[in-house]
Chain A
Amino acid sequence: MNTMDEIAYSSPFRDWSPLGKLALTLSLLVSSLIASSILIPLIVFLVGFALFFHSTRLRLPRVIAFALLNALLIFIVSALVIALVTAGQPLWAVDLWVVTLHFSQEGVQLATLVFFRAVAGVMVMLFFAASTPLPQLANALRQVKVPKEIVELTVLVYRYSFLLLEQLSTMYVAADCRLGFRGYRNKYRTTSKLAVNVFTRSMDMAERSQVALNARGFRGVFHSYRSPVRLSIKWIVLSAAVFFSLYAINQLVVEPGHVLGMFKM
């Protein structure tokens, strides 16, 4: 996660408007979601991949790579379940001795579409996360009148997550060196103690931070003096153009006769 933060801060797209990038991301995600043709998620994936590649040169933190592989596994299992529960024309039957699994044509089509939507969605979200430091996004949310309490809470949760993760990592290594994770029973016992220690340390840290803030004259509000780039009209136009273009391509693929008919004299 730390490296993800570093990647976001070193991205060439870092100085683009965070809300602009969010609008573009949302338009790509929604276009992929409402499409009934598999072509749209594929286009969204390619756009997301190109932006992600340019932003990171494919420098992916190991923890994110593992998270992506984990996500891919969940996509496959969930898509299989969708293929299984959707009724329609029988396509395959897989005999597993105890039970026979029936896959319909409609089920397989829907599962494939959902799978590609998910993969495209993750790629677009990765581009956004790898080019937008979260504190910058949180501060940008003030421009759309998100309450300052939520913005501050988001930034604080983000900052303290890094500190707690660092402490957890140190405690984890210490417990591991003492064979604290040997066997299931020890694993659960050590995990619960790690959780308690992280929690009590977080409480201590909160008390110490409060004292430090009070000593510096804290009046209950965190001021931010470096506002991120504002959302301009060109971002709204770009996002709308992307959305309508993808919508038109989808209609052209799914109902070509209907779309072409609209242009007949």
Chain B
Amino acid sequence: MHIMEGFLPVEWAVFWSILSVPVVVWGFFKIRKLFAESPEMKMSVALAGAFIFVLSSLKLPSVTGSSSHPTGTGASTILHGVAITSVLCTIVLVFQALLLAHGGITTLGANIFSMGIAGPFVGWLAYRGMMRAKLGLVPTVFATAFLANFSAYIVTALQLALAFPTAGSVMTSFITFFGIFAVTQIPLAVVEGVLFIMFFDYLARTRPDLLKGKLNLRPKDSNAPVKAVEA
């Protein structure tokens, strides 16, 4: 869920941009170091960004009858970490705002903070916790993807509540925004979690080399024969 162009007052647009800049700059330095050490990673990182953008064009049915799309930040967090995900999200959000009228330029800072920083960070905490607890692929991927999506939505509801409090009460406003958008966003977060379980399960069986050291893969996850490579 992105905040659309024109929805945030100037002071809040500036505030969220100021909060986002340090993380994106940190991500930029990580990318610069990565490119300096291994220039061949340039293509992989660029294609990961293109993948996030393309993923957002995959429509999924939602409970309200409309369709929605996965964000891909949970998957990107598992594969690349929070800092690089924040830079990729920044680029993807600019493309979405300009090419699909989804999001905005003045709300870019707020959207980067919710989708590119807060969501991936919470997803990363869940991912690290699950990895330490040596839990399997299914709970780890579900928790990471679900929490990355869901926390991005909570932060977005908070951003809107801070900008439009009800008679001075941010909490009342937050509950209203949270309640109304929960109808589509909670099922979407569950769907994204399920989608990425299938994604990583299939990836573990077809290209286990790409997940080396990323998830607690059991032998059966990576050695099972693939029935068919479809479509």
Asked whether A220 and B47 contact (CB < 8 A) given A33-B9, A125-B98, the answer is no
Choose from B165, B176, B191, B231 the contact partner of A193 (Cβ within 8 Å).
B231
Choose from B8, B39, B95 the contact partner of A161 (Cβ within 8 Å).
B95
Tell me the complex Cα distance, A75–B58, Å: 22
- A17 part of interface (Cβ distance < 8 Å): no
Chain A 119-148 interface mask (CB, 8 Å, partner B; 1/0): 111100110110000100000000000010
- B35 part of interface (Cβ distance < 8 Å): yes
Contact A81 B51 (CB under 8 A): no
Main secondary structure of the interface of A (DSSP, over half): helix
- A237 part of interface (Cβ distance < 8 Å): no
Contact A117 B101 (CB under 8 A): no
- A191 part of interface (Cβ distance < 8 Å): yes
Contact B7 A78 (CB under 8 A): yes
Chain A: number of interface residues, binned into ranges: 35 or more
Contact B172 A195 (CB under 8 A): no
Contact A209 B43 (CB under 8 A): yes
Tell me the complex Cα distance, A81–B163, Å: 12
Asked whether A125 and B42 contact (CB < 8 A) given A85-B166, A189-B198, A200-B203, the answer is no
Contact A149 B202 (CB under 8 A): no
Contact B206 A149 (CB under 8 A): no
- A251 part of interface (Cβ distance < 8 Å): no
User: Which of A89-97, A151-159, A227-235, A240-248 contacts the other chain?
Assistant: A151-159
Contact B43 A210 (CB under 8 A): yes
Chain B: number of interface residues, binned into ranges: 35 or more
Choose from A82, A129, A153 the contact partner of B45 (Cβ within 8 Å).
A153
Chain A 163-194 interface mask (CB, 8 Å, partner B; 1/0): 11100100110110010100010011111111
Residue numbers in B under 8 Å from A194 (CB-CB): 58, 231
- A253 part of interface (Cβ distance < 8 Å): no
B24-59 at interface with A (beta carbon < 8 Å): 28, 31-32, 35, 39-40, 42-51, 53-55, 57-58
Contact B166 A87 (CB under 8 A): yes
Contact B195 A128 (CB under 8 A): no
Please name the residue on chain A nearest to B169 by beta carbon. Answer: A87
- A109 part of interface (Cβ distance < 8 Å): no
Q: What residues make up the interface of B, taking CB atoms closer than 8 Å to A?
A: 4-10, 13, 28, 31-32, 35, 39-40, 42-51, 53-55, 57-58, 60-61, 70, 87-88, 91-92, 94-95, 97-102, 104-106, 160-161, 164-167, 172-173, 176-177, 180, 191, 194-196, 198-199, 202-203, 206-207, 210, 229-231
- The contact sample of 29 A-B pairs, CB cut-off 8 A, is A33-B6, A67-B101, A81-B176, A85-B161, A85-B166, A85-B173, A85-B177, A118-B4, A118-B5, A119-B6, A120-B6, A121-B5, A122-B4, A125-B97, A147-B28, A147-B32, A149-B28, A149-B35, A153-B49, A154-B91, A163-B50, A174-B231, A188-B191, A191-B60, A191-B195, A200-B206, A202-B47, A207-B43, A210-B40
